[in-house]
Amino acid sequence: MRIATWNVNSINARLETVRRWFEQELPDVACLQELKCVDEKFPAEPFERLGYNIKVFGQKTYNGVAILSKTPLEDVRRGLPGDEADEQARYIEAVVSGPTPVRVASIYLPNGNPIGTEKFAYKLAWMDRLNAHARELLALEEPLALVGDYNVIPEPRDAEHPANWTGDALFQPESRAAFRALKWLGLTDAYLEADGAPGAYTFWDYQAGAWQRNNGIRIDHALLSPQAADRLVGVAIHRDVRGWEKPSDHVPLVVELDV
């Protein structure tokens, strides 16, 4: 089973790019982030024609996440538990049916910039909530993949120019510590486990020729429960997609599990 995660930066602005990638790769499961549209505006038809079942948790203008799967999706949860007042659509979870069911979450973790504001506090609080929820999911002892745009640069090796990010919410000690705390729960970073070569980035800013200069960062991650990590076959970062016509600023990350 190949599970993809991709921050598409508007599914409607990106439709032809995303459709082209789907037709080429046909992943079993795809978790998308930053849809920037409400549920009714998600362009379902092109994906249904390719055989996908779709669950969307959308939002106007900002955020919005989805899970697409070739097999039916069950036990769908929209929104991260722990704050009833949180209106941002950043989390959707479902169980991908099959001989070995796999629970998958599509995560769009808050950016948190600028630091020192309520946005950064929201990021850290959101990470605490994710930690609490991940602890509950791990107690189920199932194959589980928490994938998405984490908006965290875990280590200096995950940035081409780490010094450029010292004042940024993505590279703050608190953000990195919260990401490590997720891993200490018993989650495995699939990329590090399967490959781990430095210089593997998933995001290049649109500005200042970041792509042309390879000024990238690794902020899209796949965290696996032990039952999923046991079945890890490999990980691929589809770097070339950043050079396509009308690209997202993120590229797909694909995890293959032997299920």
Partner DNA sequence: ATGGTAGACCTTCTA
221 to 250, contacts with DNA by CB under 7 A? 246
C-beta closer to DNA: residue 41 or 176: 41
Q: Out of 52, 108, 150, 201, which one is annotated catalytic? A: 108
C-beta closer to DNA: residue 71 or 248: 248
C-alpha span between 159 and 176 (Å, rounded): 13
Residue in the structure block whose two tokens are 């120019």: 161
Candidates 10, 100, 214, 215; binder of DNA (CB under 7 A) is: 10
Q: Should residue 64 be labelled a site residue for DNA when binding is judged by CB under 7 A? A: no
Angstrom distances, CA of residue 220 to CA of 73, 100, 118: 23, 25, 23
CA angle 86, 72, 88 (to 5 degrees): 10
Measured from the Cβ of residue 163, the count of other Cβ atoms closer than 10 Å reads 8
Distant-in-sequence, close-in-space partners of 137: CB < 8 Å, separation ≥ 6: 103, 144, 146, 225
Q: Is it true that the peptide bond before 154 is cis, omega within 30 degrees of 0?
A: no
Q: Should residue 62 be labelled a site residue for DNA when binding is judged by CB under 7 A? A: yes
Q: Are 34 and 7 in contact (CB under 8 A)?
A: yes
* Residues counted in the chain: 259
Q: Out of 28, 52, 149, 158, which one is annotated catalytic? A: 149
Q: Are 47 and 54 in contact (CB under 8 A)?
A: yes
Candidates 24, 40, 49, 61; binder of DNA (CB under 7 A) is: 61
118-138 and 173-184 helices cross at what angle (nearest 10)?
10
* Chain-centre distance for alpha carbon 66: 10
Q: Should residue 13 be labelled a site residue for DNA when binding is judged by CB under 7 A? A: yes
Q: Segment near DNA (CB under 7 A), from 61-69, 97-105, 152-160, 231-239?
A: 61-69
In the complex, what is the shortest distance from the CB of residue 25 to DNA, in angstroms, rounded to a whole number?
21
For every residue of 9-20, DSSP letters joined together read S-TTTTHHHHHH
142 to 181, contacts with DNA by CB under 7 A? 151
112 to 141, contacts with DNA by CB under 7 A? 113, 119
Q: Are 144 and 227 in contact (CB under 8 A)?
A: yes
Residue 128 appears among annotated catalytic residues: no
C-beta closer to DNA: residue 100 or 113: 113
Q: Should residue 111 be labelled a site residue for DNA when binding is judged by CB under 7 A? A: yes
Candidates 1, 3, 4, 14; binder of DNA (CB under 7 A) is: 14
17 to 36, contacts with DNA by CB under 7 A? 36
Residue 150 appears among annotated catalytic residues: no
Site string for DNA, 189-228 (x = CB under 7 A): -----------------xxx--------------------
Active-site positions? 108, 149
Binding residues (CB under 7 A) for DNA: these are: 9-10, 12-14, 36, 60-63, 110-111, 113, 119, 151, 206-208, 246
